[in-house]
Amino acid sequence: MMANETPLSDVRFLTVAEVATIMRVSKMTVYRLVHSGELDQLERISVSAAQDAPVRPGLIVWPEVPAPFSMQDPNFSERAQKIARDSAADFLVGIVDWKRDSAGKWLASNTAILLGPSGQRIFTYDKIHLVPFGEFVPYRRWLWFAGRLTADIGDFTPGNSYRVGKLPDGGFGVFICYEAIFPAQVRQYTLGGAQLLINISNDGWFGRSSAPVQHLMMARVRAVENRRWLLRDTNNGFTASIDPYGRIVAELPTDVRSELDAPYDFRTGFTPYVRFGDWFAFLCVAVSLAILIFAWRAPKLSLEQTSKLNRIE
């Protein structure tokens, strides 16, 4: 045995989970090296906008994670905390959050976190409605061949709590990407005490199609249903401040790297939809079905009976 050889009994082999962790860290490192200039620019835009404003903003929002941002990456974690401290504002940002389950397996979630002005993490929301075949593969046991669609990072793990965060002036609810199309979900935040709604999204996947505009239109309806201000932040310019009546009061042009001074406010009170949910829609469906069943089961007049009635008339 050579002096620099290690006995096989002393060798520790990496588990699959540990190898996956190394791959994730490497991916973050590569992204940081390639896009460090862009991250520096985003940091300058965020901090300078806060420092140059006549009144310091209470909140800075970044969109749903468009890149492998993670607080498990020390460099990104330090940068995010620095943005919160230098801007002296709460900082809401989308990340990929990694957690171990009870068996020690690493699980990823599509997450929004809030950092306080001191840089401390004070709120976490894990996306509940994941995109089928984009963020997870449904019925994977039977659709095993579709696993390559999410092979880049693996399936996300869905959240299970409609969490409401706290800002100095009131509570807020944040929903991620296409969760904006689920009115029943957004209603849960308002019921839970949210006085402000925030939608962060990565709409870059849609390209130049009509989907980003449709996505924005659906988000506007959520503001009306809940009678809340809605801040919507995306990575390709469909960024807007929407008032409780669904009107866009401020927005960025598309595909421009910039910041939006977005007006917003905190509101209380519940609309009928928030109070009662979809009962009226279900009632309409039930009445329509009852009418159809009644019409189908009602005795039908023969041609002869119909002609007699016409003669009587």
> Distance between CA atoms of 111 and 128, rounded to whole angstroms?
10
Query: What is the pLDDT confidence band of residue 9, given thresholds at 50, 70 and 90?
Result: very low
Does 177 qualify as catalytic in the annotation?
Answer: yes
Q: How high is the mean pLDDT of the chain?
A: 83
Name the catalytic one among 27, 43, 64, 300: 64
Share of the chain above pLDDT 90, in %: 51
Tokens of 35: 């896009």
Does 166 qualify as catalytic in the annotation?
Answer: no
HEC string of 115-161 equals ECCCCCEEEEEECCCCCECCCECCCCCCCHHHHHHHCCCCCECCCCC
**Beta strand pairing status for 230-234 and 196-201?**
parallel
Burial letters 148-171, b for 16+ CB under 10 A, else e: eebeeeebbbebeebbbbebeebb
Name the catalytic one among 5, 135, 177, 313: 177
Query: What is the pLDDT confidence band of residue 77, given thresholds at 50, 70 and 90?
Result: very high
pLDDT tens for each residue of 204-221:
778 778 888 999 999 999
Is the pLDDT at 50 greater than 90? The verdict is no
Most confident region among 17-31, 139-153, 183-197, 289-303 by mean pLDDT = 183-197
The answer to whether 94 touches 69, Cβ cutoff 8 Å, is yes
Share of the chain above pLDDT 70, in %: 78
Write down the pLDDT at residue 30: 62
Domain boundaries, the chain: 14-283
Does 284 qualify as catalytic in the annotation?
Answer: no
Is the pLDDT at 150 greater than 60? The verdict is no
Return the CATH class of domain 14-283: alpha beta
Coil, helix or strand at residue 92: strand
pLDDT tens for each residue of 234-258:
988 789 999 999 999 999 988 888 8
Instruction: Write down the pTM of the prediction.
Output: 0.81
**Mean pLDDT (whole number) for 100-116:** 90
> Distance between CA atoms of 33 and 25, rounded to whole angstroms?
12
